[in-house]
Amino acid sequence: MELKLKDWTNKDKVGTRFPQSQTKCPLCNQNALEDKWPPDYGSGATGGEFSRFEGSQKYICLNCKVAFRVSYKKETKNGEIIVDETKYSETVPLIEQDGYLLTPHDVWRENYKKENGEYPKEIYA
C-alpha cells in the first residue's frame, strides 16, 4: 500500500502543501519536499551598507520518511557576505497512520481530534 501525505483538500486550485524544493535531506542528500503548513516565517532588514535575513522552513523526505527543519541566517556588509549559516534540526520520523504519513503537526492535529472530537481551528497571520 502506498502511503499518502495529508495535503490540502483544495490543492488543485491553490497548489500542494508539499512542493518540491532544492533543499537536500540531511540523511540521504535527495531533494526534500517543503512543508507549507503551518506557515514558517522569515524576517529581514536592510539599511545602507548592511542587510540581514533569517528564518526557518519545514521539510519532509519521503525516501527516509522523516521531517526536519532548516534554519538560515545571512548578513551582508557593503555587498559582501559576512554571515551565511544554515542549520538542520528537529529531524524526526514521519508517523504512519491509516494509510498516511503524518508530519509532527499532523500528529498534533490527529491527537487533538481524538481528544476533542474535531480538528483544532487554526489561524496564522
Per-residue pLDDT, 125: 61
Instruction: Record the pTM.
Output: 0.84
Backbone angles phi, psi at 73, to 5 degrees: -150, 130
Asked if the structure places residue 54 within a domain, the reply is yes
Per-residue pLDDT, 40: 86
Domain count along the chain:
1
Other Cβ atoms less than 10 A from the Cβ of 117: the count is: 7
Per-residue pLDDT, 115: 97
Asked if the structure places residue 103 within a domain, the reply is yes
Per-residue pLDDT, 1: 58
Report the C-alpha gap between 32 and 58 in whole angstroms.
10
Asked if the structure places residue 7 within a domain, the reply is no
C-alpha cell at 28: 540521504
Domain that holds residue 40: 16-116
Other Cβ atoms less than 10 A from the Cβ of 74: the count is: 16
Asked if the structure places residue 8 within a domain, the reply is no
Asked if the structure places residue 10 within a domain, the reply is no
Asked if the structure places residue 5 within a domain, the reply is no
Report the C-alpha gap between 102 and 4 in whole angstroms.
9
C-alpha cell at 25: 535531506
Residue ranges of the chain with per-residue pLDDT less than 70: 1, 125
Asked if the structure places residue 52 within a domain, the reply is yes
Other Cβ atoms less than 10 A from the Cβ of 3: the count is: 14
Asked if the structure places residue 107 within a domain, the reply is yes
Per-residue pLDDT, 101: 94
DSSP 8-state code for residue 97: E
